Structure 1
Amino acid sequence: MHKAEPLRVADRITAEALVAGVLGNMAALESLLAEEADHVRAGRLREGIAVSEPKAALAAAYMQGLEVAKANAVALKRFHPEGVERLRAAHRRFTAAVEANQTVLASARTVSEGLIKSLAEEIGRAQMPSGYGKQAPAPSPYGRGVRSGPLILSRNL
Structure 2
Amino acid sequence: MAEAARPAPIRVADADGAERLVTETLSTMRDLEALLGRESDHIRVGRLAEGLAEAERKTALAGAYLQGLQAVKANAVALARFAPEGIAALREAHGRFSEAIAANQAVLATARSVSEGLLRSLSAEITRSGEPKGYGTGYGGNPAPSPYGRARSAPLVLSRSL
Residue in structure 2 matched with residue 40 of structure 1 by the alignment: 43
Shift of 1:71: 0.6
Structure 1 position 150, deviation (Å)? 5.5
Identity of aligned residues (%): 52
- Equivalent residue pairs, number: 145
Unaligned runs of 5+ in 1: 139-146
Q: TM-score, normalised by structure 2?
A: 0.82
For residues 6 and 80 of structure 1, the distance between their equivalents in structure 2, rounded to whole angstroms, comes to 19
Shift of 1:51: 2.0
Q: How does 1:62-77 map to 2 (within 5 A)?
A: 62-77=65-80
- Asked if structure 1 preserves the Cα contact closer than 8 Å seen for 2:130 and 2:154, the reply is no
Q: What are the superposed Cα offsets for residues 33-64 of structure 1, whole Å, 9 maximum, x if unpaired?
A: 00000001111011011122211110010011
Poorly superposed stretches of 4+, deviation over 6 Å: none
Q: TM-score, normalised by structure 1?
A: 0.85
**Structure 2 unaligned runs (5+)?**
136-142
8 Å contact kept, 1:120–1:151: no
Using a 3 Å threshold, how does the CA distance of structure 1 residues 52 and 4 change in structure 2: closer, same or farther?
closer
Alignment of 1:64-143 (within 5 A): 64-132=67-135, 133-134=143-144, 136-137=150-151
Larger Rg: 2
CA-atom RMSD in angstroms: 2.0
